[in-house]
């Protein structure tokens, strides 16, 4: 990095005194785990997204894994998913022996294309894992129809999409079980953490047991009625989550403002494609700000300049099927999902977080324009 420039970090949490106060309360209460703060967080979260039940867990990945177990995905079952996502979207069923089948994405939204999903269904298909990538809702109605027609489970990976709306209602309210994640770059954070929302009381009870070492509702501490995990969140993290949830509206508004400012600053710069706009059906919750440049060589040139100028970036997102372990295990190669692969070569995440200041964004825009 050049001397004297002010670095602009890629991401950062947005925490305040309220979270500190709630954490202190928990610390002083002596109930650090399996306590009432977790129940409260779950109730508030479920209410907020319009789902009847929520089960908090130790990470988004843990939540996805538990939903795959609830869907009874087992060795040899095919699971159709998107290649353009974070690796955990596919890992969650690979843990159970599920076989990934990647359906290509829509070039505008970068979400899985329902036509490609339909074409990928075979007699061995067990489930679909759909992602709301970068907080933009997936084609839920079409995917629900496919799942119903073929008797498949539909798992929604909404890890990046808390606050997004599909057909005027928040993700989580539509029926499929959803997972949201709380790593510090997400809309709200608990440090590490995640939550599963469900419309089934039976599934909710199962999730609570699975995350807690397979303990039953009525049994004791040392009785395990099924093979379980320690995927629990603790009360300290739940307290941070409550503080964050209390100002989710403020957070979403500020993030939208940051995205709008980028749109104004970047539109018209030759060679920059902006994230797709909302429409009547889809309302994005801003997670990251990812632009597309003309090709990989241009992206690498921009990255070189960003590094010199202290500007945070990431190559969001590589296609999952081309990850080294996926190639090795399943033999996936280039050309399987050309739209995803093209996006993976050209997408670039710019600094983006709730508290990002206008002058920092102006610097990012100036440096990007000059690099292009
Ligand atoms: C789409 C998607 N799925 C799953 C995850 C996994 O969440 P976690 O990091 O909380 O395990 C993430 C987090 O980055 C994500 O973006």
pLDDT tens-digit profile of 44-92? 999 999 999 999 999 999 999 999 999 999 999 999 999 999 999 999 9
Share of the chain above pLDDT 70, in %: 100
Section 190-218 average pLDDT: 97
Task: Give the per-residue pLDDT at 227.
Answer: 98
Torsion of CA 186, 154, 200, 209, to 10 degrees: -70
Task: Give the per-residue pLDDT at 178.
Answer: 98
Task: Give the per-residue pLDDT at 209.
Answer: 98
Section 354-371 average pLDDT: 97
CA dist., res. 35 & res. 216, Å (int)? 17
What would the DSSP string read from start to end of 170-183? ETTSSSSEEEEE-S
Between strands 177-181 and 153-157, the pairing is parallel
Please tell me the distance between residue 222's alpha carbon and the centre of ligand 1 in angstroms.
31
Q: Is the pLDDT of residue 323 over 90?
A: yes
Please tell me the distance between residue 326's alpha carbon and the centre of ligand 1 in angstroms.
18
Please tell me the distance between residue 185's alpha carbon and the centre of ligand 1 in angstroms.
10
Section 277-295 average pLDDT: 98
Task: Give the per-residue pLDDT at 309.
Answer: 96
Task: Give the per-residue pLDDT at 1.
Answer: 79
Residue with structure tokens 């997408």? Answer: 347
Pocket lining: 157 vs ligand 1, CB cutoff 6 Å: yes
Strands, E assignment, the chain: 53-57, 78-81, 99-102, 125-131, 153-157, 165-166, 169-170, 177-181, 194-198, 282-283, 289-292, 347-350
Please tell me the distance between residue 331's alpha carbon and the centre of ligand 1 in angstroms.
24
Q: Is the pLDDT of residue 219 over 80?
A: no
Section 337-350 average pLDDT: 98
Angle, CA 74 vertex, CA 80 and CA 336 arms, to 5°: 30
Pocket lining: 60 vs ligand 1, CB cutoff 6 Å: yes
Conformational region of residue 157, where left means phi above 0, alpha means psi within -120 to 50, and beta covers everything else: beta
User: Is the full-model pTM beyond 0.85?
Assistant: yes
- Best CA proximity match to 143, nearest among 169, 170, 166: 166
Task: Give the per-residue pLDDT at 206.
Answer: 98
Q: pLDDT averaged over the chain?
A: 97
CA dist., res. 297 & res. 260, Å (int)? 27
Return all residues near 103 (Cβ < 8 A) that are at least 6 apart: 80, 81, 82, 112, 113, 116, 117, 119, 120, 337
Task: Give the per-residue pLDDT at 4.
Answer: 80
pLDDT bucket at 217, cuts 50 / 70 / 90: confident
Section 238-261 average pLDDT: 98
Pocket lining: 85 vs ligand 1, CB cutoff 6 Å: yes
Q: Report the SS3 class of residue 204.
A: helix
Task: Give the per-residue pLDDT at 283.
Answer: 98
């Amino acid at each position: 990095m050049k001397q004297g420039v002010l670095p602009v970090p890629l991401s950062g949490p947005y925490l305040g005194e309220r979270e500190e106060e709630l954490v202190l309360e928990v610390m002083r209460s002596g109930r650090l785990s399996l306590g009432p703060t977790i129940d409260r967080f779950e109730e508030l979260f479920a209410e907020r997204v319009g789902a009847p039940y929520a089960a908090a867990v130790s990470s988004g990945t843990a939540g996805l894994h538990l939903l795959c177990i609830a869907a009874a995905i087992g060795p040899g079952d095919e699971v159709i998913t998107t290649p353009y996502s974070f690796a955990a979207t596919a890992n969650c069923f690979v843990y159970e022996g599920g076989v990934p089948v990647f359906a290509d994405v829509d070039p505008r939204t970068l979400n899985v294309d329902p036509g490609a999903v339909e074409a990928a269904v075979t007699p061995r298909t067990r489930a679909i894992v759909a992602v709301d990538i970068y907080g933009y809702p997936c084609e839920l109605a079409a995917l629900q129809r496919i799942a119903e027609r073929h008797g498949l489970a539909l798992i929604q990976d909404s890890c990046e999409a808390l606050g997004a709306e599909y057909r005027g209602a928040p993700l989580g309210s539509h029926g499929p079980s959803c997972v949201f994640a709380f790593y510090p770059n997400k809309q709200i954070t608990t440090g590490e953490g995640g939550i599963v929302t469900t419309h089934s009381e039976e599934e909710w009870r199962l999730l609570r047991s699975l995350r807690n070492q397979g303990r039953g509702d009525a049994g004791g501490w040392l009785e395990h009625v099924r093979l379980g995990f320690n995927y629990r969140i603790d009360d300290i993290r739940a307290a941070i989550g409550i503080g964050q949830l209390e100002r989710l509206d403020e957070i979403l508004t500020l993030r939208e403002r940051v995205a709008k400012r980028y749109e104004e600053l970047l539109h018209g710069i030759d060679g920059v494609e902006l994230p797709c706009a909302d429409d009547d059906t889809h309302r994005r919750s801003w997670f990251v700000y990812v632009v597309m440049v003309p090709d990989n060589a241009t992206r690498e040139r921009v990255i070189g300049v960003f590094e010199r100028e202290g500007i945070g970036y990431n190559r969001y997102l590589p296609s999952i099927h081309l990850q080294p372990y996926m190639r090795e295990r399943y033999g996936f190669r280039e050309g399987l999902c050309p739209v995803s692969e093209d996006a993976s070569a050209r997408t670039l995440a710019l600094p983006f977080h709730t508290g990002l200041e206008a002058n920092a964004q102006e610097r990012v825009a100036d440096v990007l324009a000059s690099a292009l």
